[in-house]
């Protein structure tokens, strides 16, 4: 069983994405598998997942686009001690393509907190900025920089710097 949908709560501004599923999954990759889901099998359990994500998006003074989003997700298995949940907040602001044809930019922020079973919550926070230059209609050059702060590998927060250079080439039939 699986369902997903999007609700437009306020016309052209506020939305809510949601999805849910219930399925049968193997407990162990090495256990017995049944070819028929109606057969009783101790290596199979029911797993349910749910996610909801309200968000707003729009334009700022005709020069930039924005999207602010909050997401919550949960997964649980019948009789499982490895249930998980997560929450994420994100914000993206970017130049409007019609206002900035050759030069553009974007700025992103996200914070995610995850919890697996009885373990302590883990947090990851990211910030980044991207500049791009359309050298030709087919070639866009990119430069990106940012930072990440997380406690995924240890109990202490660690900060990392990220950067990158790249390009996007969209060849045409003539190229």
145-164 tens-digit pLDDT: 999 999 877 778 889 999 99
Q: Full-prediction pTM beyond 0.95?
A: no
Cβ atoms of 49 and 20 within 8 Å: the answer is yes
User: With 90 as the cut, is the pLDDT of residue 31 above it?
Assistant: no
Q: Look at residue 173 in the predicted model and tell me its pLDDT.
A: 82
The whole-number average pLDDT for the span 38-62 is 86
Q: What is the chain's mean pLDDT, rounded?
A: 88
Mean pLDDT of the region 48-55: 96
Whole-number Cα distances in Å, 101 to 8, 40, 104, 135: 30, 61, 7, 11
pLDDT band at residue 39 under the 50/70/90 scheme: low
Confidence of residue 17 (pLDDT cuts 50, 70, 90): very high
**Over the stretch 119-134, which tens digit does the pLDDT of each residue have?**
888 899 999 999 999 9
pLDDT in tens, 78-97: 767 678 899 999 999 999 87
């Amino acid at each position: 069983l699986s369902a997903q949908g999007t609700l437009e709560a306020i016309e052209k501004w506020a939305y809510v994405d949601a999805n849910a599923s219930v399925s049968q999954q193997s407990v162990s990759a090495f256990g017995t598998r049944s070819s028929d889901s109606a057969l009783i099998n101790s290596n199979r359990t029911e797993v349910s997942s749910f996610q909801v994500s309200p968000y707003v998006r729009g334009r700022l003074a005709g020069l930039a686009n924005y999207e602010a989003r909050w997401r919550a997700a949960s997964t649980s298995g019948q009789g499982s001690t490895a249930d998980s949940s997560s929450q994420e907040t994100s914000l993206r602001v970017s130049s409007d393509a019609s206002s900035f044809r050759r030069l553009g930019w974007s700025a992103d922020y996200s914070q995610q907190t995850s919890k697996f079973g009885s373990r302590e919550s883990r947090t990851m926070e990211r910030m980044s900025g991207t500049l791009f230059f359309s050298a030709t209609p087919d070639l866009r050059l990119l430069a990106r920089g940012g930072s990440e702060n997380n406690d995924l590998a240890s109990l202490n927060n660690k900060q990392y710097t990220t950067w990158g250079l790249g390009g996007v080439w969209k060849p045409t039939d003539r190229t």
